[in-house]
Structure 1
Amino acid sequence: MAVDVLTEVTIDRSRELVAAFAGNPTNAPVWYARICGVTWQTDPPLRVGSRMVFVARFLGRRLAYTYEVVDHTPGERLMMRTVAGLPPRETTYTWADTPGGGTRMTLRNRGEPGGFGQFAAPILKAVIRRANRVDLARLKTLLETE
């Protein structure tokens, strides 16, 4: 895949709490700056095969895309792939305990940009990395101040 961005953060909260919050797609608009809404196409709870439509704003445009959960180990890993609305893309979260009792969370975005995006992949990687850092910092602040 042409774009592969891995970002991580350490959050001073338990893995169970961080994974339960960040791994619940309904909470995405709370900590992702660009996500405006999430609608479940399948009934909760989250499991392999669950589908959700995410609505985001990017470069002044509204984007709607459908993710399907392809791997889910509660409290440890969540992987989703686009099935509609965007070129092929994967988002993976992992959560691990830190020695101090906190959580190391990783966010990985992989994708194959289409059209002009193929040529702009290095710029796209930088934009995604910056956005991920902002979003993970927002999540950290949110969870550590509760």
Structure 2
Amino acid sequence: MSASSTHPQVPADAGRATHLHLVRIPGSAAHPNPPHPVPGKVVVSWEGDTLRRALSLLRGFPPGQARRCFLPRYALRALANERALFEVVLCYRCQRLLIRDGDSTTGFDFDSEHPAAVELRAMMLKADSGSKAES
């Protein structure tokens, strides 16, 4: 796993993404080293401006101090015409994310109180609460 940098290194082919799936990872599947792709329910598929906003927010995450748990509740899976490009697995509790691009995994410790992180989390929670209401 690579070391953290100034901002998350979102893969270069992110611009090719046509959909960004928000995946809710069930509590029973939350694991410090989740399988790839992560198990869970796709609660929403973002496109267009929402997809671009979510990736822009992710790129804006500043470095932070990670804690120890890494029991992620959400993942973002980028697709181009139904083909997976990469996956970002997020744990807001311990402020750590993993970017999985093919066989490569890069870790990043982020500041969960930064406006970009707060806004992306709000987007995810809003989408997830709408999904639960529809279930």
More strand by share: 1
What's the TM-score, normalizing by structure 1?
0.28
What's the TM-score, normalizing by structure 2?
0.30
Q: Rg: which structure is higher?
A: 1
